Structure 1
Amino acid sequence: MPDQGSTTRPPDRRAARWTGQRTKRRAEFVEAAIAAIGEYGPAVSTEQIAARAGVARPQLYRHFRDAEELHRAVGRRAAELIVAEMAPLLSRPGGAPARMIDQAVRTLVRWLAEHANLYRYVTQRAIAGAGGRQDVVADIKTTLGTQLSALLGGYLAAFDLDRRIAEPIAFGLVGFVESATGRWLSEPGSLTEEELADYLASWVWGTLDHVLRSAGVSVDPDQPFPL
C-alpha cells in the first residue's frame, strides 16, 4: 500500500514554460536596449529603450526590478559580446607573433570603435561606481587578461623563462590597449582607426620583445613561436 504521507508532485510544466518565456523576453529587451544605445548614445532613456522594444515603459519593469538591473544586464551582455570576439584570438596558440598581435589588437580596436556608444554606456556607469557596475568593466579585462596570460605563459615556458611574469604582462597589455582606444574614441584627433591599431600592435610587440631580449632571447616576429 503506497505511503499516503509522501506524494510526489509532477513537475509544473507551466512554471518552467513561463520561466523560459521570461528569460527569452529579458534577453530580447537587453538586445533592444543595446540597439537603442547604438542609436541614441550612452545617455539613452528607458523610454527610448522601451520604444525600441515595441512596448510601454512599465512593461520593462515586469522583467527588471528597476533601471539599474537593466543596466547590469546590458553590461553583462556587452561583456559576453566582446569576450566572444576576442577569445578565439587569445586561446589559439601558433603563428607568427607579429600577425597574432596585429589580429588581436585590430579586433579589439575595431570592436570598441563599432560599439563606441555601448562601450561608453558601460564605462560611464563603471565610473559612477553605483550598484556594482564596476564589475562589468573589470570582468571584461579580467577575462581577456587571464586568457592572454595563459597564452603568454605557454610561450615563456617554451623559452625556459619565468612564466610567473605572464600575468602582469598580459593584464598590463590588455589595460593599455583598452585605455588607449577609449581615449582615442573620445579624442581621435587626426589619428585614424587603422593608424591607432598599427601603433598599438607595434608597441605591444615592443614590450614583449623587450621581455624576451632581457632574458637573452631574440626572435623573429614574422616567424612562428615554438609551441
Structure 2
Amino acid sequence: MPDRSSTAKLPDRRASRWSGQRDKRRAEFVEAAIAAIEAHGPAVSTGQVAQHAGVARPQLYRHFQDADDLHRAVGRRAGELLIAEMAPLLTHPGGSPAHMIDQAVRTLVRWLAEHANLYQYLTQRAGGGPAGQRGVVADIKTTLGTQLSALLGGYLAVFDLSPRIADPIAFGLVGFVESATDRWLSEPGSLSQEDLADYLANWIWGTLDHVFRSAGVVVDPDEPLPPPPGLPE
C-alpha cells in the first residue's frame, strides 16, 4: 500500500515554500519602495515604486492589498531600521549622562535627517488616515519611548527616586526631539544639524537635572554611570 502519510505532507511543504517565496518577494518590494521614496520624495507614486522594483504595477499589488498596505509595510520596515540604530543606546547604555544623551540625540537627529524623505512619507500619511496608518508613526515613537522609559526608570531607582515618572519624561523627550527635528527639516534657517543636536542634548540634560535636583539629588553630567540593573540583556 502507498505511504499516504508522506504524500499528505507534500501540499503543506509546497504551501510553506510558496509562502516563504511570497514573503521574500514582499520584503524585496518594501526595500524597493524605500529606495523609491528616498529618490523621488514623499509624494512617490506606485508607478515609481514598481519601476524601482523592476515590475509592473499589477504585479506589485499582487503582494499588497492596496496602497495603504504598502504604506504600513514601509512604515514597519522604517521602524525596524531606526530602532536597530537607537536600541543599543537605550538598552545597553554606558558613559556619563552627557555622553549618553548626546549619543542618543545625535543618532535620532542624524537618522531623521538622512532619511528625511522616508520620514516625511510616513508623517504625511499619518495625519488623517485610518488608524492603521496613524499607528505606523505612533508605534515607532512608542517603542523608543518604552525603551527610554525603562532606562530612566532604572536610573531613578538607583538614586532612590520614584520610577513612576519615567514614562511621562521618556515619552515627552522622544516627542520633543522628533517634533523639533521635524520643524528643523522643514525650516532649518541658519541652524546646522550639529547645532540642533547640541541644543536638544543640553535642553534634555537641563530637564533631567531639574528632576534630580527637585528631589535633592545632584548628578554630575560628566561623571560616568554604570548601567542600571534590570535592563534587558
1-structure distance, mates of 2:15, 2:132? 30
Do residues 10 (structure 1) and 9 (structure 2) align? Answer: yes
The residue type paired with residue 96 of structure 2 is A
SS at match of 2:188: coil
The residue type paired with residue 18 of structure 1 is W
Give the corresponding residue for 1:220.
Answer: 220
Number of positions where the alignment pairs a residue of Structure 1 with one of Structure 2: 224
Give the corresponding residue for 1:194.
Answer: 194
**Contact 1:36 1:44 survives alignment (8 Å):** yes
Give the corresponding residue for 1:135.
Answer: 135
**Contact 1:155 1:225 survives alignment (8 Å):** no
Q: CA deviation at 1:9?
A: 2.5
SS at match of 2:130: coil
Q: CA deviation at 1:95?
A: 1.6
Q: CA deviation at 1:130?
A: 2.7
SS at match of 2:156: helix
SS at match of 2:132: coil
Give the corresponding residue for 1:123.
Answer: 123
Give the corresponding residue for 1:86.
Answer: 86
Q: CA deviation at 1:94?
A: 3.3
2-structure distance, mates of 1:167, 1:22? 39
2-structure distance, mates of 1:46, 1:82? 24
The residue type paired with residue 63 of structure 1 is H
Identify unmatched segments of 5+ residues in structure 2: 229-233
SS at match of 2:198: helix
Runs of 4+ in 1 over 3 A off after TM superposition: none
Q: Where does 1:73-222 land on structure 2 (aligned, <5 Å)?
A: 73-130=73-130, 132-222=132-222
2-structure distance, mates of 1:15, 1:7? 15
CA deviation vs aligned residue, 1:9-68 (integer Å, no higher than 9, x gap): 315221111111100000000000000000100000000000011111110011111111
2-structure distance, mates of 1:94, 1:15? 47
Identify if the C-alpha distance between structure 1 residues 153 and 13 changes in structure 2 by more than 3 Å, giving closer, same or farther: same
Identify unmatched segments of 5+ residues in structure 1: none
CA deviation vs aligned residue, 1:99-137 (integer Å, no higher than 9, x gap): 000000000000000000000000000013235211011
Task: Report the TM-score, using the length of structure 2 for normalisation.
Answer: 0.92
The residue type paired with residue 37 of structure 2 is I
**Contact 1:29 1:53 survives alignment (8 Å):** yes
SS at match of 1:189: coil
The residue type paired with residue 117 of structure 2 is N
The residue type paired with residue 34 of structure 1 is I
2-structure distance, mates of 1:68, 1:148? 30
Q: CA deviation at 1:141?
A: 0.8
The residue type paired with residue 10 of structure 1 is K
2-structure distance, mates of 1:195, 1:178? 15
Q: CA deviation at 1:209?
A: 0.4
Aligned-residue CA RMSD in angstroms?
Answer: 1.7
The residue type paired with residue 225 of structure 2 is F
Task: Report the TM-score, using the length of structure 1 for normalisation.
Answer: 0.95
2-structure distance, mates of 1:77, 1:54? 20
